[in-house]
């Protein structure tokens, strides 16, 4: 952990606009190696836009750097190669591809073939259901299974940092708990996590630190437990 003094991901004065609409208004935050950091906020707060900026999918102002490297102008596919994997909002699985093809596609940037095979085994041990459904078209999976596949893909691309966009969305509580348990497990085995959620309660429980995003600006930040105990957060996101 020689990099402990430098954040793995550093976002400074990030501004993202769609035409005249400013979705993200100059936010700054950091994620350190080994952390689970959560960005909570209600619908339309700018969470997905922030992740799209980090992954290089949309233009932005301000700066984003990963391991000290400025990501501006780096192609989105290359960013995956640098080690940032995103599990997108709504899972984004390719329904016309089989489960196995979805996983395999995510290894595009990898050159370490023998390790790829080991990672399949790892994904299957975390999500045995995916192994049972390897040759099934992924569009026919249930919502929970699709979310597992989306996380599995991110593991296959070997991100040292995983960005997750509302993984709990649309899932039954038992599945949400399962996904969050897996996230903690993945984090413990060395992957840094940036978790975007509306489900503030669950997110803050697993997070080391969190930021509250409101209409494109960060209004609060602190450790997971600080935010859980904060009356403002309680009122706005945890149902009083």
Partner 1 sequence: MDYILQQSLNALQLGSIYALIALGYTMVYGILTMINFAHGDLFMVGAFFCFIVATFLKLSFIPTLLISMIGVALLGVAIERVAYRPLRQAPRVSAVITALGVGILLESVMLVIFPYPQSVPTLLPNITWTIGGVTISLLQVIIICLSIGLMLLLDFIVRRTMVGMAMRAISWDKVIVPLMGVPLNLIISVTFALGTSLGAAAGVMYSQAFPVIDPYMGVLIGWKAFISAVVGGIGNIRGAMIGGFILGAVEIMVVAFFPSTYRDFVAFTLLLVLLIFRPYGILGQPRPQKV
Ligand X SMILES: Nc1ncnc2c1ncn2[C@@H]1O[C@H](COP(=O)(O)OP(=O)(O)O)[C@@H](O)[C@H]1O
In the complex, least distance from residue 95 CB atom to Mg ion, rounded to whole angstroms: 20
Nearest residue (CB) to ligand X, 48 versus 107: 48
Three-state secondary structure call for residue 82? helix
Question: Residue 81's binding partner, choosing from partner 1, ligand X, Mg ion, none, with beta-carbon cut-off 5 to 8 A by kind?
Answer: partner 1
Nearest residue (CB) to partner 1, 77 versus 134: 77
Nearest residue (CB) to Mg ion, 48 versus 230: 48
Three-state secondary structure call for residue 91? coil
Residue 197: alpha-carbon gap to chain centroid: 9
Question: Residue 173's binding partner, choosing from Mg ion, ligand X, partner 1, none, with beta-carbon cut-off 5 to 8 A by kind?
Answer: none
157 near Mg ion (CB under 5 A): no
Give 152's contacts (C-beta < 8 A, 6+ positions apart): 102, 103, 123, 126, 127, 130
Question: Residue 96's binding partner, choosing from partner 1, Mg ion, ligand X, none, with beta-carbon cut-off 5 to 8 A by kind?
Answer: partner 1
In the complex, least distance from residue 219 CB atom to partner 1, rounded to whole angstroms: 28
Interatomic CA distance for residues 204 and 131, integer angstroms: 31
Q: CA torsion, points 105, 92, 167, 217, in degrees to nearest 10?
A: 110
Two tokens at 25? Answer: 């208004």
In the complex, least distance from residue 162 CB atom to ligand X, rounded to whole angstroms: 17
In the complex, least distance from residue 101 CB atom to ligand X, rounded to whole angstroms: 28
In the complex, least distance from residue 48 CB atom to ligand X, rounded to whole angstroms: 3
Question: Residue 174's binding partner, choosing from partner 1, ligand X, Mg ion, none, with beta-carbon cut-off 5 to 8 A by kind?
Answer: none
Three-state secondary structure call for residue 234? helix
Which residues of this chain interact with partner 1, rule CB under 8 A?
55-57, 75-77, 80-81, 85-86, 88, 90, 92, 94-97, 101, 104-110, 139, 153, 157
Q: Which of 66, 2, 54 is nearest to 196 (CA)?
A: 54
Which residues of this chain interact with ligand X, rule CB under 6 A?
18, 21, 23, 41, 43-49
Query: Residue 66 is inside which H or E element, if any?
Result: strand 61-66
- Name residue, tokens 């591809």: 97
């Amino acid at each position: 952990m020689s990099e402990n003094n430098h954040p793995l991901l550093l976002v400074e004065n990030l501004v993202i606009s769609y035409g005249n609409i400013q979705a993200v208004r100059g936010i700054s935050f950091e994620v350190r190696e080994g952390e689970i950091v959560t960005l909570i906020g209600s619908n339309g707060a700018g969470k997905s836009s922030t992740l799209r900026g980090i992954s290089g999918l949309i233009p932005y102002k301000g700066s984003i750097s990963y391991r000290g490297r400025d990501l501006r102008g780096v192609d989105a596919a290359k960013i995956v190669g640098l080690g940032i994997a995103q599990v997108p909002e709504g899972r984004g699985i390719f329904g016309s591809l089989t489960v196995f093809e979805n996983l395999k596609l995510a290894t595009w940037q990898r050159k370490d073939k023998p390790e790829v095979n080991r990672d399949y085994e790892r994904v299957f041990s975390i999500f045995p259901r995916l192994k049972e459904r390897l040759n099934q078209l992924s569009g026919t999976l249930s919502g929970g299974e699709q979310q597992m596949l989306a996380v599995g893909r991110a593991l296959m691309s070997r991100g040292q940092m995983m960005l997750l966009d509302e993984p709990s969305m649309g899932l039954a509580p038992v599945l949400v708990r399962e996904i969050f348990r897996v996230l903690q497990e993945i984090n413990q085995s060395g992957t840094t996590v940036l978790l975007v959620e509306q489900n503030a309660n669950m997110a803050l429980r697993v997070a080391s630190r969190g930021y509250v995003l409101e209409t494109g600006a960060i209004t609060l930040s602190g450790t997971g437990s600080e935010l859980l105990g904060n009356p403002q957060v309680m009122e706005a996101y945890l149902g009083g």
